[in-house]
Amino acid sequence: MALKKPPNDPGGTPAWTPDLVRSVTRDFLAGHDPTTMDPTDFLLARYDAGLAWVHFPPGWGGLGASRSLQSVVDAELEAAGAATGAPGVAVIGLGMAAPVLVAWGSAEQKRRFLRPLFARQEIWCQLFSEPGAGSDLAALSTRAVTDPGTGDWIVDGQKVWTSHAHEARWGLLLARTDPELPKHQGLTYFVVDMTSPGVEVRPLRQATGEAEFNEVFLTGVRVPDAHRVGGVGDGWKVAGATLMNERVAIGAEALPREGGMIGALTGIWRERPELRTPGLHQALLRHWVDAEALRLTVLRLRRDLAAGRPGPEGSAAKIVFARLNQELSGLALELLGEEGLRYDDWTFRRPDPDEDPLLRSFGYLYLRCKGNSIEGGTTEVLRDVVAERVLGLPRDTRTDKDRPWKELPR
């Protein structure tokens, strides 16, 4: 389907309006019924129509419109019966890989990856953290060395806490390409084929009994230079954009009032009056106010993102999200007493990414929420981000900033 072009404003910039975007969406739906089409075919057609991410450039799944107009598209699609649930196993591709590829990727990379990514035909994972480089990501030691005969890169190293690596076709990899430079400068960003020889994925079992994460071993993995994202040595800049998108994806989900964990807890409170005590009532009210304050803050954050003003505020939202979830799951166990301590789910399995965790026991939620303050950036590191970039406080003293990475103690 040919993309409809908006009229130009006096300055010559395309002037997409809500009414025009709504018209484009309805024209698309007139020829593509989401209730009868194959879901993958529908997503592919939606990408081709520029209705995947309206703020992306034309030809790459977008219209070149304001990000705020995505809500217009989503409302029309939902009214027509299109699936609008959580991205599930595709969350890293949709929330992190896509915006990074649009901002930093080559035209060929956009052409190869974005369309099947949006249609969930190819799953993505993120190869960042290492056993010796988690909170201090720039200290990573996975090496990528150029093969002078082919121009390919040969990668050796180990990554850890990698969600969906056992299902992923592609991985976003941060590797060290120059140990002579300071640690933030000698990094380069790649897209790795997870089916390549030398890639080994092993499950990591969590306190819940599940293996939601993995460790990934890379041994002589060959990556073509065409899969390098950004320039050699630009890896830290590209990774920074990825991490900002990740923190928003984790801590800035748009929820209705009493959505998420607070809704599950208030449901028990209303249905089980025999469990109530005055002290628990006060605690629940305090957490309800905190949850509502976070929800409203997230709405403002998402408006800033829609206006093209992403910033470190996503780190603050993620900090509060982690703390609140942990406190709410603990309050639920206190409310349920012995019943809350029962946990029958401790079996080794790969979790279903489309399963709603709120439908599981609070024993499971209590254990799983402990990871909220680690995944997507530890709370300690994110507090530094907020202190320096939001509050303007002095940066921590760094003695390793200008020293070559190879000279740093490990």
Domains and CATH numbers, the chain: 1-84 (no CATH), 246-390 (1.20.140.10)
Provide the annotated active-site residues: 246
pLDDT tens, 156-172? 999 999 999 999 999 99
Look at 194-208, 251-265, 384-398 and tell me which has the smallest mean pLDDT.
Answer: 251-265
Give mean pLDDT, residues 92-112: 95
Which of the pair, 218 or 272, is modelled with greater confidence? 218
pLDDT on residue 9 = 47
Residue 315, pLDDT > 50, answer yes
Q: Is the pLDDT of residue 288 over 90?
A: yes
Give Cβ neighbours of residue 281 (< 8 Å, ≥ 6 apart).
Answer: none
Percent of the chain exceeding pLDDT 70 equals: 90
Cβ(366)–Cβ(333) under 8 Å?
yes
More confident residue, 295 or 230: 230
- Token pair of 165 as six digits: 């690596």
The pLDDT tens digits for 61-100 are: 999 999 889 989 999 999 999 987 667 889 899 989 999 9
pTM of the model: 0.85
Q: How many CB atoms lie within 10 A of CB 23?
A: 13
Q: Structure tokens of 36?
A: 């009868």
For residues 127 and 60, what is the distance between their CA atoms, to the nearest angstrom? 24
Tokens found for residue 83: 């699936």
210 burial via Cβ count (<10 Å: 0-12, 13-18, 19+): buried
**CA–CA distances in Å: residue 331 to residues 265, 268, 286, 288:** 8, 11, 11, 12
- Per-residue 3-state assignment (H helix, E strand, C coil) for the chain: CCCCCCCECCCCCECCCHHHHHHHHHHHHHHCCCCCCCHHHHHHHHHHCCCCCCCCCECCCECCCCHHHHHHHHHHHHHCCCCCCCCHHHHHHHHHHHHHHHHHCCHHHHHHHHHHHHCCCCCEEEECCECCECCCHHHCCCEEEECCCCCCEEEEEEEECCCCCCCCCEEEEEEECCCCCECCCCEEEEEEECCCCCEEEEEECCCCCCCCEEEEEEEEEEECHHHEECCCCCHHHHHHHHHHHHHHHHHCCCCCCCCCHHHHHHHHHHHCHHHCCHHHHHHHHHHHHHHHHHHHHHHHHHHHHHCCCCCCHHHHHHHHHHHHHHHHHHHHHHHHCHHHHCCCCCCCCCCCCCCCHHHCCHHHHHHHHHHHHCCCCCHHHHHHHHHHHHCCCCCCCCCCCCCEHHHCCC
Give the number of residues written for the chain: 410
Q: Give how far the C-alpha of residue 171 lies from the chain's centroid of Cα atoms, to the nearest Å.
A: 13
Given this model, what pLDDT does residue 249 score?
58
pLDDT at 166: 95
Long-range contacts of 300-303 (CB under 8 A, 24+ apart): 301/248, 301/252, 302/252, 302/254, 303/68
Least confident of 107-121, 185-199, 346-360: 346-360
